[in-house]
């Protein structure tokens, strides 16, 4: 029990530093995107989405799932941990260099395969990120394992600020999509240098095939899981780009980037903590479930009203954040926001549970089932046009939630009904907020001041409703006073 309390206290401290970092970073990102959306055409964002798809695919193979292994596995001592980290580092680095060389040599062929023959050179340059991220991925995993998010904060902020300033400067100078590529590379350089200097572990000349074999018994499934997640994440991008072109791909992908940025303030700050903490509690079923329920409840208090709010105010948000030229993406923006909160709570967190229990193959199976259903449905939708794609994308995300909840029941013995019942307070409060918005939104429409007051009113109604419920009130008051998961 003392170990559990200590873990909860450490995770609460980690959450504070992680959340502070994500708030600043996610404030920087939307500001950058807001300006870039007015400087660059939707086609440029579509082209960058294609480049990012290829880079993320190669980076997935370079990492080979070793990050998750280093966080989840129990090692004999620090020397054993560092030896495994060293093997993971050199494997990542060598694989990333080989992948970059392959893409650089066959850049035109790879670009043609993903539907943009003109992107050969940008693709080769962007993939320089592969060897750069290999210098920071292992250090990041070790910081996550120790719940040391305080040390990650200065590096993360510096790289984000450099990305922000360099991307905007190049965009103003007329470099188009090159500004996004170069900004990302500079940020990766800062991450690689900064985390290597801060990390207690440093790469050394050591390698062991026996350790690699032991790691790959877990990481092999994690890699396969990452591949299926990559497919389910980017299959829509590939299909839309192939059938509808770069412009519609920009309308499809840019709302996802913006909305994910909003949710990322919370999810990027909490998901590594959840995985690390559940991994430590995997042999204590009672504490494992109790920690998970507390975690889901706290995050739901903020994610559920955010989802509803993005959908309700989708039109003014698109006009404000993206500009008039992005009107066609309004429904995509709203529907993606509506399903994203439930996706995090009932799907993303399920995957973290499978991994924390050492069962990445379960997540792989879920993704395979989803891909079998998603690929033909998304293809049929793309053949019907962009509006069909928008509705199909939202429906498929709901389908993934359903699949994960069924699997969670049989694998982890957690029922969807009990999960939803444990979240009844934030669900009811969100419905109360939606009722208020439904009554007042028509009056506010057409006036920016009216819309701002309506949004403020929704926030007041939501948190007033939360204070009427005992558990929500207790959690919010503890959070305001600086408490965390150990406080409720």
pLDDT at 107: 82
* Choice between 256 and 19, residue whose per-residue pLDDT is larger: 256
Sign of the C-alpha dihedral, residues 176, 179, 185, 191?
negative
Alpha-carbon torsion angle 451, 454, 455, 461, nearest 10:
180
Query: Which secondary structure element, helix H or strand E, spans residue 343, and what is its range?
Result: helix 330-343
Cα 60 to Cα 50, 80, 220, 224, 345, distances in angstroms: 16, 25, 12, 10, 24
State mean pLDDT over 148-177. Answer: 76
Taking only the tens place, the pLDDT of each residue in 389-405 is 999 999 999 999 999 99
Task: Count Cβ neighbours within 10 Å for each residue of 97-129 and write b for 16 or more, e otherwise.
Answer: eebbeebbeebeebbeebbbeebbebbbbbbbb
Q: In this structure, what token pair is assigned to residue 198?
A: 């801060």
Cα 80 to Cα 71, 86, 205, 216, 313, distances in angstroms: 13, 10, 15, 16, 52
Q: Percent of the chain having pLDDT more than 90? A: 20
State mean pLDDT over 24-50. Answer: 60
Taking only the tens place, the pLDDT of each residue in 218-233 is 666 667 777 777 777 7
Q: Is the separation of the CB atoms in 127 and 102 below 8 Å?
A: no
Alpha-carbon torsion angle 358, 362, 367, 369, nearest 10:
170
Cα 352 to Cα 272, 289, 329, 404, distances in angstroms: 9, 13, 31, 11
Taking only the tens place, the pLDDT of each residue in 102-129 is 888 888 888 777 666 777 888 888 888 8
Q: Identify which of 342, 353, 349 has the alpha carbon closest to the alpha carbon of residue 398.
A: 342
Query: pLDDT band at 184, cuts 50/70/90?
Result: confident
Distance CA 469, CA 165 (A): 44
* Choice between 57 and 376, residue whose per-residue pLDDT is larger: 376
| pTM for the model | 0.67
């Amino acid at each position: 029990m003392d170990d559990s309390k200590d873990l909860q206290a450490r995770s609460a401290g980690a959450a504070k530093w992680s959340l502070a970092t994500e708030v600043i970073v996610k404030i920087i990102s939307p500001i950058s995107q807001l300006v870039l959306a007015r400087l660059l055409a939707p086609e440029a964002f579509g082209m960058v989405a294609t480049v990012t798809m290829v880079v993320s695919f190669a980076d997935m193979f370079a990492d080979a799932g070793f990050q998750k292994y280093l966080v989840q596995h129990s090692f004999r001592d620090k020397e054993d941990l560092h030896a495994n980290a060293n093997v993971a580092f050199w494997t990542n680095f060598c694989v990333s260099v080989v992948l970059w060389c392959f893409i650089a040599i066959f850049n035109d062929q790879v670009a043609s395969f993903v539907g943009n023959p003109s992107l050969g050179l940008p693709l080769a340059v962007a993939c320089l990120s592969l060897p750069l991220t290999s210098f920071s991925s292992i250090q990041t995993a070790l910081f996550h394992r120790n719940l040391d998010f305080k040390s990650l904060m200065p590096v993360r902020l510096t790289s984000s600020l450099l990305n922000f300033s360099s991307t905007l400067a190049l965009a103003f100078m007329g470099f188009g999509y090159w500004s996004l590529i170069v900004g990302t590379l500079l940020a990766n350089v800062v991450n690689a240098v900064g985390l290597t200097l801060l990390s207690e572990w440093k790469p050394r000349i050591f390698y062991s095939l026996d350790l690699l074999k032991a790691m790959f018994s877990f990481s092999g499934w994690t890699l396969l899981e990452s591949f299926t997640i990559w497919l389910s994440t980017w299959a829509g991008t590939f299909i839309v780009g192939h059938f509808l072109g770069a412009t519609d791909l920009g309308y499809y992908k840019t709302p996802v980037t913006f909305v994910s940025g909003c949710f990322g303030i919370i999810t990027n700050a909490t998901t590594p903590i959840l995985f690390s903490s559940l991994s430590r509690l995997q042999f204590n079923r009672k504490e494992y479930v109790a920690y998970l329920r507390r975690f889901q409840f706290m995050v739901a208090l903020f994610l559920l009203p955010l989802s509803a709010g993005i959908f309700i105010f989708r039109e003014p948000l698109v006009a404000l954040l993206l500009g008039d030229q992005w009107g066609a993406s309004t429904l995509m923006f709203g529907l993606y926001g509506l399903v994203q909160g439930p996706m995090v709570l009932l799907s993303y967190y399920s995957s973290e549970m499978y991994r924390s229990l050492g069962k990445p193959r379960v997540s792989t199976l879920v993704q395979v089932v989803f891909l079998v259903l998603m690929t033909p449905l998304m293809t049929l939708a793309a053949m019907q046009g962009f509006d069909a794609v928008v509705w199909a994308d939202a429906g498929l995300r709901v389908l993934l939630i359903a699949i994960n909840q069924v699997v969670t029941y049989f694998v982890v013995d957690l029922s969807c009904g009990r999960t939803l019942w444990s979240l009844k307070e934030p669900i009811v409060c969100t419905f109360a907020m939606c009722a208020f918005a439904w009554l007042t939104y028509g009056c506010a429409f057409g006036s920016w001041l009216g819309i701002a007051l309506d949004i403020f009113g929704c926030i007041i109604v939501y948190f007033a409703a939360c204070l009427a419920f005992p558990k929500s009130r207790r959690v919010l008051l503890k959070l305001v006073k600086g408490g965390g998961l150990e406080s409720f």
